[in-house]
Structure 1
């Protein structure tokens, strides 16, 4: 149970509330910070198993910290706490392989369940968010999966594992140009926009269906 945790939030009350609550539940809070830079430095230095981060903080947002952790292969799993219900923010979090996403108004109710999931390598997202996104048009893309060929499905699966075109080309022994051609066919079939991240966000969101 003695999971090491770093917490960062620029609201002192929220920070103290969560720290006290988790400490009382037997979690090992090894550091806390009130801005993004301090939080990231703590993660680098202390390598906690979990970092609970406010999305909007001075200097670095929780999302930017998650991105830096991913870039630098830090083993810390990120849980974001936020008032944001915006789909775009949530999609970014998913694309960065964030492990948990909790709405602040439910933080104390949900944080323990969330940590339990994360410790077992299972992502956890606030039910409120899940309900909100279920009703969003994302699911209409699911039928489109049936339109993909076997090779395209293989590529989407590798994209959902955050592999680059070069990685995929190497793994499937095809040229990068062929991978890119497949990618643009997939984007067209799924009706996604042409932003470079759209496909990887979609692949991450629909991982379970691939």
Structure 2
């Protein structure tokens, strides 16, 4: 069988792994290193080390424990985001609070995992985040978000009339410029309203919001 050409070989995803528990770190490292397209290139046991290694090694993904000694995980993510670092933060946490999840994503993290996830889910998340998927959430986190919305009652009551108008147009696939033209308002105003909608409903990405609009039944398909 011929060897694959260099152009056909997928690049290896370089990961810096951070967790203050050596046994946990070793277990995750072993699972990640078992797949051909992922390599753990550095390990950190506290927030300061994680930040330093992310800057020095420039990995594709920083798998970041959010509750370590030193600088808090949210602060690490926010610093890297503010510096426009190309390193993509994948949060790993024991917390499944919707507010903590949201604040982590708003700090610049590309994805969020719960520590009890299966190894296959962690691998899938690393690949997704490395591939540029922002707002990657595990199935468990998505279920937690859905439960939060259910327990909160009708989430649409949180929105103003203008926000509801914009939400419906987002659900129909319109971009901000088109929405501004339809409603005769500035594109900046649309962006501000959209940001408010994300915060009130607990979503981070437009694709996720659009999917929820249809699942919620706010937009009805029409035939012909």
Paired residue for 1:165? none
2:97 corresponding residue in structure 1: 86
Shift in CA distance, 139/14, structure 1 to aligned 2, threshold 3 Å: farther
Aligned to 2:17: 7
SS state at 2:42 partner: strand
Partner of 2:204: 205
Give the alignment's Cα RMSD to 1 decimal. 3.5
* Structure that is richer in helix per residue: 1
Question: Which ranges in structure 2 are unaligned for 5 or more consecutive residues?
Answer: 1-9, 177-185, 211-224
Question: Which among 84, 101, 108 is matched to residue 97 of structure 1?
Answer: 108
Q: Which has the larger radius of gyration?
A: 2
| Residue equivalent to 2:182 | none
Equivalenced residues, count: 181
Relative to structure 1, is the Cα distance of residues 82 and 22 closer, same or farther in structure 2, using a 3 angstrom cutoff? Answer: same
Provide the residue aligned with 2:27 in structure 1.
17
What aligned pairs does 1:108-187 form with structure 2 within 5 A after superposition? 108-122=119-133, 123-137=135-149, 140-142=154-156, 144=159, 147=162, 148=164, 186=193
Alignment partner of 1:41 out of 40, 49, 52: 52
TM-score, structure 1 as length reference: 0.71
- Check whether the contact 2:64–2:92 (CA below 8 A) recurs between aligned residues: yes
Q: 1:58 aligns with which of 69, 76, 83?
A: 69
Give SS of 1:130's match.
helix
Identify which range, 73-82 or 138-147, moves more after superposition. 138-147
